[in-house]
Amino acid sequence: MLTDTPLGAGSYQPSHDEGGATFRYVLGNGQRLQIVDYAEKGSAEVAVIPLGLNGFDRIEAVHRLLSALHGRAIPPDTRLTRQQRARLRKMLQAIDGDRDGATQQEIAQVLFNIGHLDRDEWQASSARHGVKALLRDARAMIAGGYKKLLRHRRR
């Protein structure tokens, strides 16, 4: 049986109850991960899904997992469109180039397949603004915005 002993973030508490092991891990921000192992020969795995608004996303993820476990065709992940995936790829390439010391113009040459531009052309170039936007959004993702990728947009 689990005890009600408060746990700090990053801590875990193992315990045993009715024939199974239970591990509770405190993730922080009031979130906890609980793993219950009732593994018996021939028993099925179980997924427990909280019934909050994110439950729909979790059900879809469990459906993909179940398909994979049983060797069936895995349904596509509908959280991102093809265009969003392409933009995310460019964001990663832009931030990688930036961190490797490339100039914004060098990044634009690679990502947008443009030639070298002189100073005035570069200042007026739409590619310059595109690189700036990609780098801004990549930094926002790195700062925690990536969590939005795990959820569907809600209207």
pLDDT tens-digit profile of 112-145? Answer: 999 999 999 999 999 999 999 999 999 999 998 8
Q: Which two tokens stand for residue 97?
A: 């180039």
d(CA 124, CA 140): 25
Q: Which two tokens stand for residue 151?
A: 């959820």
pLDDT band at residue 1, thresholds of 50, 70 and 90? very low
Q: If you ran DSSP here, which 8-state letter would residue 52 be given?
A: S
List C-alpha distances in Å: 9 to 36, 142, 145, 146, 150: 19, 22, 21, 21, 22
Check pLDDT > 80 for residue 105.
Answer: yes
pLDDT tens-digit profile of 20-34? Answer: 567 777 766 666 777
